[in-house]
Structure 1
Amino acid sequence: MRIGDVAAATGLTTRAVRYYEEQGLLSPGRTPSGHRTYTSADIRRLRTVSELLQAGLTVSDVRSFAHVLDTTPLRDPAGAGEPDRCDVAEVAQHRLGELDQRIARLSSIRDGLASQLTNRFGDLFAPAPAPAPPPGPAPASAPASRSGSCPAAHGT
């Protein structure tokens, strides 16, 4: 399969597919003339990478555990204690912690702005209430300390 077909099948641009290859997230085969060739496994990997990036991970995050993207599904409890799984959990917890910090900072900025506008303009300004958090479990926060079974965090 050629790069245009893969881009269409994954909803990515050909430039994005090449970029993910440059970043080490994909290793397509090559024809004797040097053209890239892709398999259904490459399409699955690209979809996984795209979903992880859309969920909030960075390319660096995904690259740090790219070696396990094509293994047993990460939600499989049978692999829960493996060191590779630990890499995934650690990166995810780190990213979730960073997002929680950004959300708290932005909420504080929003509240400060609403307060300043109310103080300055009084009745002329009726700020909209802060949006309610989405339903579901409370967001996970970064662990206070690393467990002894996980290696040091990968740089992001």
Structure 2
Amino acid sequence: MRIGEIARRAGVSTRALRYYEEQGLLASERTPSGQRSYPASAVERVRLIQQFFTAGLPSRTILQVLPCVDSGQASPEVFELLAAERDRITATMSDLAAARDALDHLIAIANDPTPEHCPALREPPWAPYDAVLDSR
């Protein structure tokens, strides 16, 4: 099958397929005219790769997991790798939650500014002019 047909059937762009090839996740052969040719099984392979990306795995990890999928045998190292990726995602989620909470705090301050948080509320804008007048 040609690249456009695989892309259409798998629901991805041809650019994604080229990227998968660059990363070593997908293989194609070249016709004598230089066009990519894929086996029909590439559709299922691309869908699997998409599932791995949806799960938050980077391409380097997917590359390490795919041989286990192909052989039907997962090593303890692969399970450790997947657990490490889950921990990485959990840590990222915690960081994002902290960022969201900090943003919520800033929004609350913006909605109800106080002199403690807003320098403009500490002294009136005309205070410098009053100081000049007082010194005369």
Q: TM-score, normalised by structure 1?
A: 0.62
In the TM superposition, what are the counterparts of 1:10-29 in structure 2 within 5 Å?
10-29=10-29
Whole-angstrom CA distance in 2 between matches of 1:66 and 1:56: 15
For 1:18-54, what per-residue CA distance to the aligned partner results, in whole angstroms no more than 9, with x for missing partners?
A: 1111111111123333322111221111110111112
Could you list the runs of 4 or more consecutive aligned residues of structure 1 that deviate by over 6 angstroms after TM superposition? none
Larger Rg: 2
Q: 1:119 to 1:29 in 2, by over 3 A?
A: closer
Tell me the number of residue pairs that the alignment of Structure 1 and Structure 2 aligns. Answer: 113
Alignment correspondent of 2:79: 89
Deviation at 1:114, TM superposition (A): 2.6
CA separation in 1, counterparts of 2:77 and 2:39?
27
**Separation in structure 2 between the aligned mates of residue 113 and residue 27 of structure 1, nearest angstrom:** 44
CA root-mean-square deviation: 2.2
TM-score normalised according to structure 2 size: 0.70
The one-letter code matched in structure 2 to 1:38 is: Y
Identical residues among aligned pairs (%): 33
Give 5+ residue unaligned stretches, structure 1: 73-78, 124-156
Structure 2: how far apart are the matches of 1:66 and 1:58? 12
In structure 2, the partner of 1:48 is 48
**1:107 aligns with one of 97, 100, 108:** 97
